[in-house]
Structure 1
Amino acid sequence: MPKVYGQVSLNDSHNQMVVHWAGEKSNVIVALARDSAAASGPKTSAVYVSYDYGATFTLISDKFQLSKEKKKDGSKQVISQFYHSPADNRRYLFVDSINNYLWNTFDFCHNVQGFSLPFKPTDLLLHSRKSGLVLGYDSSHPNKQLWKSDDFGETWVLIQEHVKAYFWGIEPYDPPTTVLVQRHEPQGVSTILNSTDFFQSEQNRRVILEQVDSFQLRDKYMFATTTRKLFGSHEPSTVQLWVSYNRQPMKAAQFMTRHPITEFYIADASEDQVFVCVNHRHNVTHLYISDTEGLSFSLSLENVLYYSPEGSSNNTLIRYFASEPFADLHRVEGLRGVFIATLLNGSASEDNMRSVITFDKGGTWELLQAPSADSLGGTVDCQLSKGCSLHLAQRWSQLFNIQLRRIPILSKDSAPGLIMATGSVGRNLANKPNVYVSSSAGARWREALAGPHFYTWGDHGGILMAIAQGGFPIFRFSTNEGETWTEFKFSEKEVFVYQLLTEPGEKSTIFTIFGSYAEQRHSWLILQVNASDVLSEFSSLMDGFMVNAEDS
């Protein structure tokens, strides 16, 4: 059976926790406990670090001291965010955007240094290859300033103002020190600029596109939108999408539609094609697919679920939780061309939502065949010919259902073809939620567990873990892709579970439960469960049945 080998009660009542596994075979986990932005009263924070993969955590907040000048003012540090260097897993930056302060560490928080900043660090962007390079953005400043550090946050230089969006270039398409910005101009529109020396010289700076509304960088693609008035048209204006492939000059994309276009949303830019949500009038959104260069688009799917904070659906509860637009489109990781989308027919409620799947990158879409049996062995009478199918929760359902959360679709490169999802069977998404598992990339499904659960997997999908929502301290594990489950009690007391996680990459057999004891006021509880013994037992059982190891 699994073993609970770490049970840490932090005596910490902050209502948010940000957790990061250092990775690269390191045993370090860093956790920031903080108050949510909406919390009333003075904000506080606490930083914890584990050097034994979560078995124990140490409070290290006293390492993050403000300068003597700041302390004289009566200021107290409030760490709002931390950042991990993708170029060096030992390096972290911690920011206090209230006191304009930053701390860095080069050795997993053993040693921490603090620095006063010449700007409010509302966001940082760390370079993926050069560990010293950092961009810092101050969205609170009237001039929207962009700063650069080449010594991991110790000193800073102002490189641009009036910045709306900014990106590091992406190798091999850009030189290593490339910065791209969308800059507001006095007329109210924007210009996209590219520089390879942080805007120090004119010869290393070039204009990519002018009179732009928005700009995005996605690997080999660049996207921008412009608004153009149409001469001789009844419509006051239309939105135009511009695309660059492999950093060629940007060109206007062509869409096969007669409907006026009010908004574009880049839903996916993988596999050398682009899925774009095109918002037409009356909040109708269709999904279009491009050619390789992203310049010629054809209709793939009508009436896809798309949410925009500025759209007509923003009068829902979701506007309190979603400040960025999103589409209910899930790319099944580990396989090419498989996507699951939510259709919306009418107002934004689950009664009007259905799920469809494509196995050929949007060439054809079909409803999901519901399983013929439930998780208890009972018969499920749900036939496609009668309008009944399986529907899976995605981002919208996750945000809308506050009491019993809908964990969205889980698919990973670490386990190609394996999918876990919260869903319901019927004519729409509004029916009772259960957990469904597919071992065939979505072609066939089984109801694995009744009711909503937290879930994840480890050992490349070799072991599935799930915990029912509701406070019961029992998790269920499966070593046969959800066909059968074994229960294990992980606590003698009731526990409110907030999240069940494993280290990104899903290679580990160690699972981390974040929650708090149900009988007392919220205080963070972190439990570590090691399931390696389960897989050892399973392998021993399987040894007797394996005829040829090459067949396994």
Structure 2
Amino acid sequence: MIWRVVLLCGGCLLLLLLLLGAEGRSREERTSTFQQAESRGQMRARPRRDTSSSSSASKPAHGLPFTSCRVPLTPVEHRVLDDNTHETGFNGDDGSHVVLTWVGDGTGVILVLSTINGPLDSYSHAGSSRLYRSTDYGKSFHDISHRINNTFIREEFGVSVGPGSSVILTADVPVLDNSGGIIFTSTDAGATFKFIQLPFHLVQPITYHFLNPDYLVGLSIDGSLWLSLDFGGEWAKVHDGVLSFTWGAGINLFFSCSRVDAVDADERGDLLLKRTNDLGKTFTTIHEDIYSFGYIGTFLFFSVMSDPRSPRVMYFSSDQGETFSRALLPSASTEQFYSLLDGDEDMLFLHVDNPGETYFGTMYTSDDRGILFFKSLERHLFDGHRKSDFTNITSLRGVYLTNRLDEDGRIRSVISFNRGGTWQQLKKPENVDCEEQTKNCNLHIHGEHSRKNRIVPMLALSEPTAIGLVIAHGTVGDSLSSAQRPDVFVSSDGGYNWRGTLRGPHHYTILDSGGLLVAVEVRREGQVKTIKFSTDEGQCWKSYNFTEQPFYFAGLASEPGTKAMSVSVWGFRPEADGQPMWVAVTIDFQSLITRQCNDQDYEEWLAHSTQGVGDRNGCVLGVKEIYRRLKKQSVCRNGRNFVVSKKKSPCLCTREDYLCDYGFYRHVNSSECVRQPSAANKTLEMCLSGEEDELLTSGYRKVPSDKCEGGYSPQVAAQTVIRTCGIKPSPGPPASSSAQVTHFDAPGERLVLILVCAGAGFIVLIAIVSAVFAVRRVVYRNRTPVYRFSNLQIQDDNNGITPDLESGTSSNSTVCQPDSDDDLLG
């Protein structure tokens, strides 16, 4: 996996929100799930004296005192670090903009590009870019500018790293140059480059296929979509009038385009959503009247706007657009937006904005079909910068962290350990005493809202290989405070318990799969020379002065994947002539922590061990997980070959493992799902395609990703028939007659539906071979759905059926792919 991070003006730029919706406040947004990679991959920086200062750094410290362990370096440790610390200077006379990029996994290769910071205003530049390369994790660099003919590489998206060891550099070429753009490609991590003249000018970075780096897609400034199957050697035009595109599963390529092959911003809401599954040979129109779309996990999602005055509605597909369904969600007016926060093959997190400038909305979680959405959290914060504090804690399954805006106007942090099923406030850190006048004392975590306002330099950080470890900025008290200087807190059990570890804001990163933490303090004066490190998950820290001459901090960089034990501190020193001298200092901690961990250094740890009692202790989403992880007191290195080891065992099912299906709810005095009394008399809207199916359900669905076995089984009082609409990809009117036979197979169950359509009428024949206890989506061995239920559409708020929005839990970690729709990025 390739991790890329951008640091601008000394801070990390978060991967951008994916917006889905109308102009201004009505755009729909999606937050990238890779927020945890804040200090990794690629970073950009420009010299500014206040680059590492936050707004809180100049304020007096009003934080509550806590004790943290400080251990001085021994003379031997100091000498070892001195011998393994390497400083490199880069002459800044050819530019004020520097990009650092890690290439490959375990290659030790870093590319540094220095460019001129200025607009293109002529056919050529007086200067040229400088390209430097390191093959030893940043200990030494060599100028390789000659390998790209000293060509000027553009600042905006000049460096792009793909799967394996592939790299693409994009030259800054005048648009008036009719010969097209220029790129340099490398398949050996920058050891060699190939010059390629493009037949078009790029408007955004070239997009790699997720698995095959030879498959490239580029979008030109005139809206033409281009495809290369040989890593940029040859290009073929795929389609005209394209606004956005994204890869799906396999070689499915989705894109939105104008009806007249010319994209105009005013045409949003009147676009076509198309798919090619044979690399541009043929095309299928999935839907018309598209405003925006994206792809996350295994879900294709898009918003539809039937006319400029109508609200937008959301549709989802889990079979690459073959069939799709309208989501059971409130529609979004021109003053609202949707925000797809996170998702994978099992479920989605989605925020629906409240009307007006409220800066909050409601968070929903979906079922495994992307049809039914259940209310997860009300008053979910979405600030005026269109930023969400929603964070996936990747170091422990099912844990998510976010902030809400309560009715008293205060921001408070909440955490979920069952993937959005329930939320609770964070516990007070064990080594922090609250002020006497504080009625409620909890830990509150700074998120993107605070980073955008320069209160903290970076967000909460966790890594899948560092089990249970979370490091974040926060304050302790009744609510999140901007007046109180943020401190750094650490959790070793996925967010159940916390402790204060560093006073004041810091940049931090995780090395050696959690065996080593490093941090650099944000200084008021902006200059740094000291790095702090911990081998016991932040309980004790040692400090080391890595340079004699301080410099202005620009970034803290380490190799993607947390396997390495080297870290680079980047910054610049102003020279007498006003030009910056860029500096990289690489500290190799492997020379200090030399002992390889053995079996005695590890212990077994039951995840979520405070969740439940007795046999239920540790049960989350129907599974117990026991991890083998490093003891805090063990000073050794996990090493590059470290692999997370865990033992899983299913839990007995309980009522908590089931949701109430559509048209059912849990009565306040009962744990059973009961039919809504008036639901049978409600009138449902007909879908645009005019097709209707019958949905049989006993009222229960298992929580997405829940793996419980045995135990509680829902009692089937009576089966219920609910009329639903199935939508197919054809945007045109339905045929005058058709027939379809659909089979549902499950252990001990079989249901056959035979649908015979004749004109506007429908005859539904249902043969039930055995009882069906829950409606289930069934797939062939290739995971292609045989049939997709679509959403029951509510006629209006007063007369529609209301699903159970309060019951249920949710599931596992996130595997998401970013959308490519530029106009959706904010």
Residue 506 of structure 1 is matched in structure 2 by 562
The offset of 1:37, in angstroms, is: 7.0
**Cα distance in 2, alignment partners of residues 183 and 382 from structure 1:** 61
CA contact (8 A) 1:194 1:205 kept: yes
**Cα distance in 2, alignment partners of residues 420 and 37 from structure 1:** 37
**Cα distance in 1, alignment partners of residues 446 and 114 from structure 2:** 28
Residue 526 of structure 1 is matched in structure 2 by 584
Q: Is the counterpart of residue 370 in structure 1 residue 370 in structure 2?
A: no
The offset of 1:108, in angstroms, is: 2.7
**Cα distance in 2, alignment partners of residues 363 and 10 from structure 1:** 51
CA contact (8 A) 1:354 1:429 kept: no
Residue 518 of structure 2 is matched in structure 1 by 465
Which of 388, 403, 424 lines up with 1:327 in the alignment?
388
**What letter matches 2:480 in structure 1?**
N
**Cα distance in 2, alignment partners of residues 282 and 462 from structure 1:** 47
**Cα distance in 1, alignment partners of residues 139 and 202 from structure 2:** 33
Query: What number of residue pairs does the alignment pair up?
Result: 496
The offset of 1:494, in angstroms, is: 1.3
* TM-score, L = length of structure 1: 0.82
Instruction: Compare relative contact order (CA 8 Å, sep 6+) and give the higher one, 1 or 2.
Output: 2
The offset of 1:502, in angstroms, is: 1.4
**Cα distance in 2, alignment partners of residues 10 and 507 from structure 1:** 27
**Cα distance in 2, alignment partners of residues 194 and 157 from structure 1:** 17
Residue 89 of structure 2 is matched in structure 1 by 9
**What letter matches 2:562 in structure 1?**
E
Residue 273 of structure 2 is matched in structure 1 by 192
CA contact (8 A) 1:456 1:464 kept: yes
Which of 85, 102, 115 lines up with 2:162 in the alignment?
85
CA contact (8 A) 2:312 2:332 kept: no
State the secondary structure of the residue aligned to 1:302: strand
The offset of 1:346, in angstroms, is: 8.0
- Shift in CA distance, 550/214, structure 1 to aligned 2, threshold 3 Å: closer
Residues 181-203 of structure 1 deviation map (CA, whole Å, 9 limit, x = unaligned): 11122465111111123333xxx
The offset of 1:63, in angstroms, is: 2.2
Residue 312 of structure 2 is matched in structure 1 by 239
State the secondary structure of the residue aligned to 2:449: helix
The offset of 1:150, in angstroms, is: 2.0
The offset of 1:157, in angstroms, is: 1.5
State the secondary structure of the residue aligned to 2:533: strand
Q: Is the counterpart of residue 183 in structure 1 residue 257 in structure 2?
A: yes
CA contact (8 A) 2:299 2:345 kept: no
Residue 220 of structure 1 is matched in structure 2 by 298
State the secondary structure of the residue aligned to 2:356: helix
Residue 95 of structure 1 is matched in structure 2 by 170
Larger radius of gyration: 2
Residue 402 of structure 2 is matched in structure 1 by 341
Q: Is the counterpart of residue 131 in structure 1 residue 213 in structure 2?
A: yes
Residue 233 of structure 1 is matched in structure 2 by none
Residues 283-339 of structure 1 deviation map (CA, whole Å, 9 limit, x = unaligned): 3422111111111112111222225xxxxx25xxxxxxxxxx542200000322211
Which of 417, 425, 435 lines up with 2:476 in the alignment?
425
**Cα distance in 1, alignment partners of residues 504 and 629 from structure 2:** 38
1:25-174 correspondence to structure 2 within 5 Å: 25-35=106-116, 45-65=129-149, 78=154, 80-86=157-163, 88-89=164-165, 91-99=166-174, 100-122=181-203, 123-138=205-220, 140-141=221-222, 144-171=223-250
CA contact (8 A) 1:145 1:163 kept: yes
- Shift in CA distance, 29/551, structure 1 to aligned 2, threshold 3 Å: closer
- Shift in CA distance, 361/78, structure 1 to aligned 2, threshold 3 Å: closer
CA contact (8 A) 1:97 1:120 kept: no
State the secondary structure of the residue aligned to 2:594: helix
**Cα distance in 2, alignment partners of residues 386 and 346 from structure 1:** 17
**Cα distance in 1, alignment partners of residues 504 and 121 from structure 2:** 34
State the secondary structure of the residue aligned to 1:191: strand
CA contact (8 A) 1:305 1:328 kept: yes
**What letter matches 1:134 in structure 2?**
L
State the secondary structure of the residue aligned to 1:281: coil
Query: Any stretches of 5+ residues in structure 2 without a counterpart?
Result: 1-76, 175-180, 261-266, 604-627, 632-826
Q: Is the counterpart of residue 262 in structure 1 residue 336 in structure 2?
A: yes
* TM-score, L = length of structure 2: 0.56
Which of 402, 411, 421 lines up with 2:462 in the alignment?
411
**What letter matches 2:85 in structure 1?**
Y
CA contact (8 A) 1:500 1:511 kept: yes
State the secondary structure of the residue aligned to 1:370: coil
**What letter matches 1:389 in structure 2?**
N
The offset of 1:179, in angstroms, is: 1.6
**What letter matches 2:302 in structure 1?**
A
**Cα distance in 1, alignment partners of residues 361 and 96 from structure 2:** 36
Q: Is the counterpart of residue 279 in structure 1 residue 353 in structure 2?
A: yes
**What letter matches 2:429 in structure 1?**
P
Residues 431-476 of structure 1 deviation map (CA, whole Å, 9 limit, x = unaligned): 2111111101111111110011110011111011011112231111
**Cα distance in 2, alignment partners of residues 274 and 250 from structure 1:** 15
- Shift in CA distance, 212/551, structure 1 to aligned 2, threshold 3 Å: closer
- Shift in CA distance, 37/420, structure 1 to aligned 2, threshold 3 Å: farther
Q: Is the counterpart of residue 19 in structure 1 residue 134 in structure 2?
A: no
**What letter matches 2:553 in structure 1?**
V
- Shift in CA distance, 208/373, structure 1 to aligned 2, threshold 3 Å: same
Query: Any stretches of 5+ residues in structure 1 without a counterpart?
Result: 67-74, 231-235, 308-312, 315-324
State the secondary structure of the residue aligned to 1:208: strand
Which of 364, 368, 387 lines up with 1:288 in the alignment?
364
The offset of 1:429, in angstroms, is: 3.4
**Structure 1 stretch displaced more, 237-246 or 481-490:** 237-246
- Shift in CA distance, 261/359, structure 1 to aligned 2, threshold 3 Å: farther
CA contact (8 A) 1:167 1:179 kept: yes
Q: Is the counterpart of residue 493 in structure 1 residue 566 in structure 2?
A: no
Q: Is the counterpart of residue 358 in structure 1 residue 416 in structure 2?
A: yes
Q: Is the counterpart of residue 517 in structure 1 residue 573 in structure 2?
A: yes
**What letter matches 1:411 in structure 2?**
S
- Shift in CA distance, 341/211, structure 1 to aligned 2, threshold 3 Å: same
% same residue: 25
**Cα distance in 2, alignment partners of residues 524 and 364 from structure 1:** 48
The offset of 1:279, in angstroms, is: 1.4
The offset of 1:345, in angstroms, is: 4.7
The offset of 1:30, in angstroms, is: 1.6
CA contact (8 A) 2:533 2:542 kept: yes
**What letter matches 2:388 in structure 1?**
A
CA contact (8 A) 1:277 1:327 kept: no
CA contact (8 A) 2:152 2:172 kept: no
Residue 456 of structure 1 is matched in structure 2 by 509
Instruction: Give the alignment's Cα RMSD to 1 decimal.
Output: 3.2
CA contact (8 A) 1:44 1:78 kept: no
**Cα distance in 2, alignment partners of residues 370 and 38 from structure 1:** 50
**Cα distance in 1, alignment partners of residues 515 and 436 from structure 2:** 30
- Shift in CA distance, 382/391, structure 1 to aligned 2, threshold 3 Å: farther
**Cα distance in 2, alignment partners of residues 551 and 34 from structure 1:** 43
**Cα distance in 2, alignment partners of residues 381 and 159 from structure 1:** 64
